[in-house]
């Protein structure tokens, strides 16, 4: 998968060399390119913004530099991701969908956002997704692009050593939140690991984890508890 980022703060993307995306690049799963939007300007001040038509506070990102960046980067196989608080909410389903794409171009807004014609123009040339990280406003799209990248890259085939860990995670297949997890030592500062997890009884462990996942989801995200999620055939066993 090729990943391009267009931003007025290209240094924001240095974490891509670290951790999970860095590992994916080292494995040859992703090919990462970061572009400074100001590199597509031609005036002395490298201007990327101007006052909004219709008046109002703040500045709007000008279309011309974006157009030139897209001339360089867009192909028919490209998906352009505009990060915006008015986009479709990002979730695991959308991460899985983006993980099937060949080429993602992240367009990171600043100020009051990007001139709408940039989005309309990109739509004439490639697939466009306008994506929100959540119902709050960030200062720029870079953090959203990094979060989306991390969620997408870890779903690429060959990335995870053990693909099973993806299937059991929170939000996998729109399902339950993950159950609580524990490691050694068995007792720490007066808190014990639940006995069932040390029993060696795989069926009881699976049933306990399912019950915990249902309980946690009911407490924290009751909106996720659909009948199909609950009725997955796993018996519910109360912790003793
Ligand atoms: N005036 C815009 C509005 O009310 O929708 C907010 C602009 S915000 C200050 C600047 C940029 O940050 C946006 O263009 C977008 O790229 C990014 N951004 C802010 N919040 C975001 C969110 N929740 N999800 C994704 N991107 C976001």
Sequence-ordered list of residues with C-beta below 8 angstroms from that of 144, at least 6 positions apart, any chain:
83, 90, 108, 131, 132, 133, 138
pLDDT single digits (tens) 171-180: 876 589 999 9
- 187 within some domain: yes
Same domain (yes/no): 72, 124 = yes
pTM: 0.91
- CA 108, CA 122: separation in Å to the nearest integer? 14
Question: Does 137 appear as a known binding residue?
Answer: yes
Instruction: Check whether residue 203 and residue 115 sit in a common domain.
Output: no
- Counting Cα atoms < 13 Å in the Cβ hemisphere of 200 gives 0
Residue 178 lies in a domain: yes
Residue 162 lies in a domain: no
- What's residue 231's pLDDT? 61
Instruction: Print the domain residue range for 112.
Output: 2-153
Whether 140 is in the pocket of ligand 1, judged by its Cβ within 6 Å, is yes
pLDDT at position 7: 98
Asked if residue 203 and residue 145 are part of one domain, the reply reads no
- Residue 135 CA, closest ligand 1 atom number: 23
Task: Please work out whether the CB of residue 7 comes within 6 Å of at least one atom of ligand 1.
Answer: no
Same domain, 146 and 33: yes
Q: Which of 153, 184, 212 is the last residue of a domain?
A: 153
Q: How far is CA 212 from the centre of its chain?
A: 26
Q: What is the CATH number of the domain that holds 134?
A: 3.40.1280.10
Give 95-124 pLDDT, tens digit per residue: 999 999 999 999 999 999 999 999 999 999
Q: Are residues 131 and 12 in the same domain?
A: yes
**Residue 39 and residue 132 share a domain:** yes
**Distance of CA 220 from the midpoint of ligand 1 (Å):** 27
Number of domains in the chain: 2
Same domain, yes or no: 145 and 209: no
230 annotated as belonging to a binding site for a ligand: no
Residue-wise over 47-72: b if at least 16 C-beta within 10 A, else e?
ebbeeeeeeeeeebbbbebbeebbee
Distance between CA atoms of residues 68 and 238, nearest Å: 60
Is the C-beta atom of 180 inside 6 A of ligand 1? no
- Give the closest residue (by CA) to ligand 1 atom 21: 85
ipTM of the complex: 0.99
Residues of the chain with pLDDT under 50: 235-240
Of the candidates 18, 20, 21, 40, the one whose C-alpha atom is nearest the C-alpha of residue 30 is 21
Residues 124 and 51 in one domain: yes
């Amino acid at each position: 998968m090729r990943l391009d980022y267009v931003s007025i703060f290209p240094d924001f993307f240095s974490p891509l060399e670290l951790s999970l995306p860095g590992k994916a690049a080292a494995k040859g799963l992703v090919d990462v390119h970061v572009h400074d939007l100001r590199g597509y300007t031609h005036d002395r001040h490298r201007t990327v913004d101007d006052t909004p038509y219709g008046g109002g506070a703040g500045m709007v990102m000008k279309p011309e530099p974006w157009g030139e960046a897209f001339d360089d980067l867009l192909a028919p196989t490209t998906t352009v991701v505009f990060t915006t608080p008015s986009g479709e909410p990002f979730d695991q389903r959308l991460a899985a969908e983006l993980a099937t794409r060949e080429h993602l171009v992240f367009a990171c807004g600043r100020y009051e956002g990007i001139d709408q014609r940039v989005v309309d123009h990109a739509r004439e040339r490639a697939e466009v997704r306008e994506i929100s990280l959540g119902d709050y406003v960030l200062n720029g799209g870079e953090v959203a692009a990094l979060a989306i990248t991390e969620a997408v890259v870890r779903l690429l085939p060959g990335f995870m050593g053990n693909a099973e860990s993806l299937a059991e995670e929170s939000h996998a297949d729109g399902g339950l939140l993950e159950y609580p997890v524990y490691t050694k030592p068995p007792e720490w500062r007066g808190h014990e690991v639940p006995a069932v997890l040390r029993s060696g009884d795989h069926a009881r462990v699976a049933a306990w984890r399912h019950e915990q996942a249902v309980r946690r989801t009911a407490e924290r995200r009751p909106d996720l508890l659909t009948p199909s999620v609950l009725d997955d055939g796993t018996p519910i066993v109360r912790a003793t």
